[in-house]
Amino acid sequence: MKSKTRVCLINSDYRSDHRYIIGILKFPPLGLEYLAASIRDIADIKIFDNRFPEFNLDYLKKEFDNFKPDYVGISVNFSNQIFHANAIARIARDSGAKVIMGGWHPSTVPDESLSYSDYVIRGEGELVFRELIKKGSPVGINGISYKDNDTIIHNPDQELIDLDQVSPPARDLRPKISEKYYSFFGVSVDSMETSRGCPFRCKFCSIHNFYHHKYRTRSIKRIIEDLKQIKDYTKLVYIIDDNFTANKNHVNKVCKAIIGNNIKKTYMSTSRLDQVVKYPEMYELMAKAGFIFSFVGIESFSNKTLKSLNKQLKLKQIKQGIKILHDLGFIIQGNIMIGADFNDKKEDIESTLEIAKSLDIDIPTFSILTPYPMTELWEEVKSKGMLINTDWHNFNWNNPVIKYPHLTSDDLKYYLEKAYSEVRSFKRPMNKLIDLLRSRGLSFFITTFLTQGGIKSTLQFI
């Protein structure tokens, strides 16, 4: 009897100077767990998260030598992960494995990624990955790029899949040590997905292009089945959807199902402040279902700049949305871009910081406007000769890669540091606690915080 194909799946690390919200939130690599689920009947699988110090390159080399994988799949979602991914790919190839790269970055620059990998899966991976493992050859499989001798072959794009065809993620394949690391401010966290894609077309974002301008949802039945799979002791769940609140009907159905099934967990999700203003009743239902953390992209306080970014948001809505969310007991993480307008001057950024100080954003984060491949911003910056370089180390929202007419790179770095030093998180911590108690009630507060790591984690969070 032929033995099963051996597969290692690796979530690659990123540089330690990454300051964006992912430095605070470390959640499971759900995409790899979906891939594992898609092949578990035909392969022996191991999953490693290279973000854990225990799973460093030396450890992975020993694992590859002992397990002798036929394939090593590496997930690369952020561009500055590619250097870690390439290092993993080298030792995987040395062990005799074929290397498959996937995720946002390899999908946008497949030719470059094939310098270190044998195959690149462009876009969604579940069905393509399974077909490749079964067939053992990329020939004729849509959605794959590969080399035939020195010729790069890009097979046609794959069709977007029905999300209900995707098997539930293989959470049981997580190593035990993962419970030590997957957390948000010290609170244990898991992740799940209810939709893919985004109907909006922000100029700096690649999601709408990545998913061919389609937005799809999973059925409520599958969402609840998935949610019930998450262990009882994990009370905090991050909905990793690209834009969870994009469709009011979908959100309402999800929330009603959570309430109807009496699932007592707390949820974080992405959101848009214009949706908050347009559908406050949707957020009221979300609050009842247990949603408490809202990640919103503010980007700029200038209506002109917001329009140029195709954000479809205005300053008035930003202020109204923040108030509505706070009245409902949400904790808001809002991101603001430094240099959101090519024509920004120092006084424009100073004004941005002053407005940020005046708004009650619980966790303000800041990033330098960064053009990523497969975005309209990338094409514009390249066409205007404004791209400083394509060193992916610098594509981390902290380092300037755009040449501005009125601001130097040092100016942008200065204002990023100034923003983090002057615009505080939780400006009124005790008032925030009181607001949470008033809007959500004592029982919700105790269930949400004091049973997840105790008082120490609660105080650390606030």
Q: What is the pLDDT of residues 200-252, one digit of tens each?
A: 999 999 999 999 999 999 999 999 999 999 987 788 999 999 999 999 999 99
Q: What is the bridge-based pairing of β-strands 266-271 and 236-239? A: parallel
191 phi, psi to nearest 5 deg:
-135, 155
Partners of 189 in beta bridges: 236
For the domain made up of 182-461, give the CATH fold: TIM Barrel (3.20.20)
Residue-level pLDDT at 16: 56
Task: Tell me which residue of 339, 319, 231 sits closest to 277, measured CA to CA.
Answer: 319
Residue-level pLDDT at 234: 83
Separation of alpha carbons 346 and 356, rounded Å: 15
Please, which pLDDT band fits residue 48 given cuts at 50, 70 and 90?
very high
Residue-level pLDDT at 179: 85
Say which range, 102-116, 127-141, 227-241, 284-298, has the weakest mean pLDDT: 227-241
pLDDT surpasses 90 at 113: yes
Residue-level pLDDT at 447: 62
Please write the tens of the pLDDT for every residue from 249-300.
Answer: 999 999 999 999 999 899 999 999 999 999 999 999 999 999 999 999 999 9
Please, which pLDDT band fits residue 454 given cuts at 50, 70 and 90?
very low
Superfamily of domain 5-154: Cobalamin-binding domain (3.40.50.280)
Residue-level pLDDT at 180: 86
Separation of alpha carbons 119 and 137, rounded Å: 10
pLDDT surpasses 60 at 57: yes
The average confidence (pLDDT) of the chain is 91
Which percentage of the chain shows pLDDT scores above 70? 92
Query: CB neighbours (10 Å) of residue 397?
Result: 23
Task: Tell me which residue of 301, 238, 300 sits closest to 271, measured CA to CA.
Answer: 238
Say which range, 145-154, 197-206, 449-458, has the weakest mean pLDDT: 449-458
Strands lying side by side in the sheet with 331-338: 25-26, 183-184, 187-192, 236-239, 266-271, 291-299, 331-338, 363-368
pLDDT surpasses 90 at 450: no
Same fold, 5-154 and 182-461: no
Which percentage of the chain shows pLDDT scores above 90? 81
440 phi, psi to nearest 5 deg:
-110, -20
136: left (phi over 0), alpha (psi -120 to 50) or beta: left
105 vs 437, more confident: 105
Q: Where are the domains of the chain?
A: 5-154, 182-461
DSSP string over 391-422: -GGGTTTTS--B--SS--HHHHHHHHHHHHHH
pLDDT surpasses 80 at 316: yes
Please, which pLDDT band fits residue 439 given cuts at 50, 70 and 90?
confident
Residue-level pLDDT at 114: 97
Please, which pLDDT band fits residue 446 given cuts at 50, 70 and 90?
low
pLDDT surpasses 50 at 456: no
Please write the tens of the pLDDT for every residue from 19-34.
Answer: 554 556 789 999 999 9
Please write the tens of the pLDDT for every residue from 358-406.
Answer: 998 999 999 999 999 999 999 999 999 999 999 998 998 999 999 999 9
What is this structure's pTM? 0.91
Separation of alpha carbons 98 and 159, rounded Å: 25
Residue-level pLDDT at 183: 85
